[in-house]
Amino acid sequence: MNRIGFHVSVLITVTCIAACPPAFAVQEQPSQTDQWLNKYTEKKNRENLTGWDGIIFYCSHRGKHSDQVLTEICERSYSNANFLAASAKINLRKAESLQAIGFDAVVGNYLILMVDLFATGLEGSVAVVTNLRAYTDYSGPVEKYPLDNEQPHVNPRSGTLILWERNSVGTSSETLQALVVPLSQGIEQFLKEFFADYLNAQR
């Protein structure tokens, strides 16, 4: 674990719906499994991340700790997302509220990109769970190729479909404020990964 000011330690735990980049560079040729995984991921990204008119960005936060600190992380995250989108000439809009997301996404055919922050902890120890996900909502989809008519996949369902996701956890033995920079940098890295996948899917 890296020590970052004020005795802050940040533990990054990543969950991917897509292939994660390797933790370190490997000189060997990729194995057949790696090649298959890369092709599978590219295909999934082309299916999931194309056809949108743009992206709606929103950052939400909750927990018993300072809203001001979490708001600062959200503001930094939006600035980073806006910069990356503008550099890549991607249409990005900032949602003003959770209620506005659904309407704008459907009417404008926008993909939703959400940062969700949850702060928790006891006195002298705090933690922030970070989730970055790209998703959309569907009403009534069914499995395209069900095994047989008795399978539950043939019944229409409705709900949220997560197309891309990353998670991390930041902890500090001091103050929540000490987590602003490392968590913002972690979210920025996730944003770079998302926009890279988004752009590659358009090619």
> Rg (Cα) of the chain, in Å, rounded?
19
Which sequence spans correspond to the domains of the chain?
Answer: 3-19+52-202
Given this model, what pLDDT does residue 24 score?
Answer: 44
Selected residue with higher pLDDT from 149 and 69: 69
- pLDDT tops 50 at residue 9: no
Selected residue with higher pLDDT from 76 and 67: 76
- pLDDT tops 90 at residue 106: no
Q: How confident is the model at residue 150 (pLDDT cuts 50, 70, 90)?
A: low
DSSP notation for 170-197: EEESS-GGGGHHHHHHHHHHHHHHHHHH
Residue 117 near residue 128, CB atoms below 8 Å: yes
Selected residue with higher pLDDT from 200 and 143: 200
- pTM confidence score: 0.78
d(Cα 98, Cα 94) in Å, to the nearest integer? 11
Nearest residue to 10 (alpha-carbon basis) of 128, 120, 114, 118: 128
- pLDDT tops 50 at residue 105: yes
In a 3-state reduction of DSSP, which class is residue 44? Answer: helix
